[in-house]
Amino acid sequence: MDKQKQIVEMFDEIAPSYDLANRVLSFGVDVKWRKEGCIKAIGRLGKEKNLKVADLACGTGDMILHWQKYLGEGCEFVGIDPSAQMLEVAKKKVQNASFIQAQAQEIPLESESVDIVSIAYGLRNVCGYQEALKEFYRILKKGGVLLILEFTHNPTPTLFERSAKFYTQKILPLIGGLISKNLKAYQYLPNSIEAFASTRELREELERVGFVKVWSKSYSAKLSTLFLATKE
């Protein structure tokens, strides 16, 4: 089976316990990272009403709930994810949004049709993620904003950052494995972080695709990084 198919099947398997595992493993701090991302992206866009938002790798819909909290009236929300089971959870949890089963490498939306594209902890799972960045650029309107939240690879960790890495590499898979009863899925998480781009590499890729005003900020011993970029 190809790697991308295996990854999606893994998310299908852990979908029922995904939200619980997420909150426990992040100690709830992901809520702060998501909130800051939304507020900064809206500030950069300079408007908050009548916008179209596409959330890629939407999973169980958490990021859409955040957008709905911070955006104004008349906004349209679409969640896109290839995992049928993650989408099932999202549809029960999130009102006033539509959902499409699709991959980020081939987004079934028209060019220059959305104001905000977001992808939270999803890009790592996209095989050939550079194709997805091109798709984000294509579907964004001119002046539109891309928000990425991701666990990037840290090639030169300080002593403090190494202890945080110990948590993600050794402790997190055990707790996630216990909650989901799927150890393999949570062993995949640290491996996928190590195999993914560093913050610098991802910033360079975004610029290569054509994005401008590429900005990033790392949180919690550089475990999570927020990226914002604009299509000019």
Task: Rank residues 54 and 229 by Cβ distance to ligand SAM and give the closer one.
Answer: 54
Residues composing the chain: 232
Name the site residues for ligand SAM (rule: CB under 6 A). Answer: 4, 7-8, 11, 22, 56-59, 62-63, 81-83, 86, 103-105, 120-122, 125-126
Output the CA–CA distances (angstroms, integers) from residue 150 to 33, 153, 181, 209, in the order listed: 10, 9, 24, 18
Identify any residues that bridge with 101 across adjacent strands, giving them in sequence order: 81
Task: Rank residues 183 and 212 by Cβ distance to ligand SAM and give the closer one.
Answer: 183
Least CB distance to ligand SAM at residue 232 (A) = 25
Task: Rank residues 75 and 148 by Cβ distance to ligand SAM and give the closer one.
Answer: 148
Q: What angle do CA 187, 190, 191 make, to 5 degrees?
A: 80
Least CB distance to ligand SAM at residue 227 (A) = 14
Output the CA–CA distances (angstroms, integers) from residue 92 to 10, 127, 139, in the order listed: 20, 28, 27
Least CB distance to ligand SAM at residue 57 (A) = 3
3-state secondary structure of 137: helix
Least CB distance to ligand SAM at residue 216 (A) = 17
Residue showing the smallest CB distance to ligand SAM in the complex? 59
Task: Rank residues 62 and 115 by Cβ distance to ligand SAM and give the closer one.
Answer: 62
For CA atoms 105, 195, 88, 149, the dihedral sign is negative
Task: Rank residues 47 and 134 by Cβ distance to ligand SAM and give the closer one.
Answer: 134
Among 96, 97, 99, 98, CA closest to 82? 99
Least CB distance to ligand SAM at residue 158 (A) = 26
Least CB distance to ligand SAM at residue 141 (A) = 21
Let me know: does 188 contact 169? Beta carbons within 8 Å. Answer: no
Task: Rank residues 195 and 212 by Cβ distance to ligand SAM and give the closer one.
Answer: 195
